[in-house]
Every structure is written in structure tokens, then in C-alpha cells.
Amino acid sequence: MRKAFKQYVRWIGIWIGSGETQLGNPTRVRLEVKERLNGEALEVSVEYCHSETNDLLHGVVGLLGLSADGIIRYSAYSNLHGNILLEATPDDPGVLALSGNSPNKRFVSVTIVQDKDDHLMLTSHYHPLGAADDESKQRRTVVRLGRMKLASRG
């Protein structure tokens, strides 16, 4: 495993939570982190589904890797934003903060924070470029995720 990813190894697995989007949609979230390419990258995928209709509200799948210039980047496909490239910004241990601009002229930000051993906080946010101060154009979701575990068989 690359040294740049050591702090995220404990996130490998499936994480599930529920909450509500800023638009008021009840949401179930599934985040999955997998080691890929013999530790050279981490696959990170997330699906936000409407809790009542099971409609996919937002889905993203991509790879987190260390680029040749030493910066951690997330190259992904999103059904809302298309292909995106987000760059990690230095942060505290246990935090992965990614941000960048999408081809459809949106600023996209995703933050994953280690909450407790078996919990993560996932914050996703986007807005049209140039509308950072316009709350009516902000789209944000904050969800606390728990690690999926095997049910007891007893």
C-alpha cells in the first residue's frame, strides 16, 4: 500500500447510512472503498438512493491515486457531473478532502472524516461556478455512515 494512502486503509470496506439531501429527499448512502492495483490506488464508489423510491439520485465511481507530481487525485465518473478530477487538499489525519471543477461548470467538493472507529462522516457539496455565495444554488448532503458488518447467526 502506498504511504500516501496508509491513513485510509482502515476505510476499506462497505459503509452505509441514511439522511436527507438539501432538497429534502430522504436518502440511503452506500460508500465502498477497495484496494486496487496492488496498493497503488483505492477505488472509491458512492451511491445516493432515494429511501422510498430506490431511485439513484447520485452515483460516483473512481480511483484515488498519487499522481506523478505527488498530489493525491480522484479520477471518477458521476451521473450528475460526468467525468471529474478532484484534487486532495492537505488536511488533518483521518480526513480526506477532495475538490475540483467539473466539465459542466460546477465546483464539486467531497469530504470524508473518520468519526469513530466504525463511523465516517461523508459531506458532498456542489454549486455552479461563480455561485459560491448563493445559498439557493448550493447542493449539499451530510451523512453519517457505519461500517457494514455480518449479522449474527445466533
Judge whether 107 lies within some domain: yes
34 inside domain: yes
In a domain, 66, yes or no: yes
In a domain? residue 154? no
Taking phi first (over 0 means left), then psi (-120 to 50 degrees means alpha), and beta for anything else, what does residue 24 get? Answer: left
- pLDDT, residue 56, reads 95
CA distance 87 to 84: 10
- Asked, for residue 114, whether it belongs to a domain, the answer is yes
Q: What CATH number did the domain enclosing 94 receive?
A: 2.40.128.20
Residue 7 scores a pLDDT above 90: no
Q: What is the pLDDT of residues 80-137, one digit of tens each?
A: 999 999 999 987 888 999 999 999 999 999 999 998 888 999 999 888 888 766 666 6
Helix (H, G, I), strand (E, B) or coil at 10: helix
Provide the β-strand partners of residue 106: 128
Residue 40 domain boundaries: 3-146
> pLDDT digits over 29-62, tens only?
999 999 999 989 999 999 999 999 999 999 999 9
What is the model's pLDDT at position 60? Answer: 97
Q: Specify the number of domains making up the chain.
A: 1
Model pLDDT, residue 1: 64
Instruction: Give the cell for residue 57.
Output: 439520485
Q: Is residue 17 part of a domain?
A: yes
List, in sequence order, every beta strand (DSSP E) within the chain.
13-20, 26-36, 41-50, 56-66, 72-78, 82-89, 95-101, 106-116, 119-128, 139-147
Residue 152 counted as domain residue: no
